[in-house]
Amino acid sequence: MATETSKSIFWQGVRDGSPFILVIVPFSTLFGVVATEAGLNVFETVAFSFLVIAGAAQFTAIELMRNDAPTLIVMVSALAVNLRMAMYSASLTPYLGEATLAQRAWAAYFTVDQTYACSVLKFDERRDWTIGQRLTYFFGVAAPICPPWYLFTGVGAMIGTAIPEGLALDFAIPITFLALIGPMMRTRAHVAAGFVSVLSALVFAFLPFNLGLLVAGVLGMMTGAQVELIDKRRAERRAA
Amino acid sequence: MIDKGELWLVMIVLGLGSFGLRFVFTGLIGDRPLPSWILRHLRYTAVAVLPGLVAPLVVWPQATGGAPDAPRLAAALVTITAGVLTRNMLLAIFLGASTLYGGLYLLG
């Protein structure tokens, strides 16, 4: 491959992040609509998206506040939904750890499901990239994802009317994530981790505050790591 | 109606808390090397969390009030299969969405 300019890496990120616009636009518009219906004005709704940029947590918080849940429960539940961000942060550390503190802070602010998933896939593929190239790619992915998130929250808040149900936009989110998960299934360990994650998420779905997802995440990670160890030992024995 | 004081308190705490969760490892640990067993677990964060996030949305879709729904299950199956086989995300989305709309049209 020819030498890559930072411009071309930035645009690679933009291209890889762009399909998510299909998800971000309806999802953030919907948040705007739901938040206005719960009594927030346009400024409060957009501020919410700016401060938190995490759809699932924002929906959780609005839903609980609308139902007059205690403030502490609202905060703990919404943060629990976001606990996976700590796992993303940990998994990006080997790739972004050398960046300056300010760069790491900006990358942290823009760490969402989509930027994380695209970047970690790419960084694993392109071990030759420098820290600068990685950051350029990361912010390239964030460019078509985060600004539309703010913008269409505002649009939704201004529209303030329901999205027609016939469009089945509810399923835009699962389809996009599934399409993203498919290419990640590179080894037996990845498949086993995904399988255990799905099973545990369904089995532990009864747990409150989205804790089932955390259990699924931990069990899935342990499964992946164990299968990797077993396969590595088996390969070593065969080689010996 | 949501109390404005409570709203801003929740928004600010959530904003700071979410940033804290995103920053905890990248920001505070930096480039100090992590032990290999931690790295081995971290390699599987994405495949351990994202499928678990999607599974309940597929099996108990909100749009049907939580009742399993044939077009949505078929669309999910087509999307993941296409993603695994072709490694092409856009193609997988396209095939999944086509299955969903086709299924909703035929069965709905």
Judge: B48–A116 Cβ closer than 8 Å, yes or no.
no
Q: How close A240 comes to chain B (CA, Å)?
A: 23
Note whether B106 contacts A: Cβ–Cβ < 8 A.
no
- Look at phi and psi of residue A54 and say left if phi exceeds 0, alpha if psi is from -120 to 50, else beta: beta
Question: How sure is the predictor about A56, in pLDDT bands with cuts at 50, 70 and 90?
Answer: confident
Q: How far apart are CA B9 and CA B66, in angstroms?
A: 32
Nearest chain A Cα distance for residue B14, angstroms? 6
For residue A104, tell me if it sits in a domain: yes
DSSP label at residue A127: T
Average pLDDT along chain B:
88
Residues A180-215 pLDDT 10s: 789 889 899 999 999 999 999 999 999 886 678 888
The full set of domain ranges for chain B reads 1-32, 44-107
> What residues make up the domain containing A19?
8-161+170-183
A-B CB pairs within 8 A amount to 288
Shared-domain flag, residues A122 and A34: yes
B82 in Cβ contact with B99 (< 8 Å): no
For residue A184, the model assigns a pLDDT of 85
- The crossing angle, in degrees rounded to 10, of helices B4-28 and A42-52 is 20
Classify the C-alpha dihedral A126-A128-A131-A133 as positive or negative.
negative
Same domain, A237 and A140: no
Query: Does residue A214 belong to any structural domain of this protein?
Result: yes
Highest mean pLDDT among A63-67, A92-96, B14-18, B64-68: B14-18
End-to-end Cα distance, chain B:
36
Q: At what angle do helices A6-17 and A113-125 cross, to 10 degrees?
A: 130
The beta-strand segments (E) located in A114-160 are none
Kindly tell me if the per-residue pLDDT of A163 is higher than 60. no
Specify the pTM. Answer: 0.72
Q: Are residues A217 and A201 in the same domain?
A: yes
Model confidence pLDDT, tens digit, residues A120-130? 999 999 999 99
Distance from the Cα of residue A223 to its chain's centroid? 21
pLDDT for residue A1: 47
- Concatenated DSSP letters of A153-193: HHHHHHH-SPPPGGG-GGGHHHHHHHHHHGGG--SHHHHHH
With CA atoms as reference, report the closest residue to A109 among A80, A76, A71, A150: A150
Considering the domain architecture, whether residues A132 and A191 belong to the same structural domain is answered as no
Q: How far apart are CA A115 and CA A82, in angstroms?
A: 15
A101 domain residue, yes or no: yes
Number of separate domains in chain A: 2
pLDDT tens column, A1-25: 446 788 899 999 999 999 889 878 8
* pLDDT band of A222, cuts 50, 70, 90: very high
Say what the pLDDT of residue B72 is.
93
Please report the ipTM that was assigned to this predicted complex.
0.81
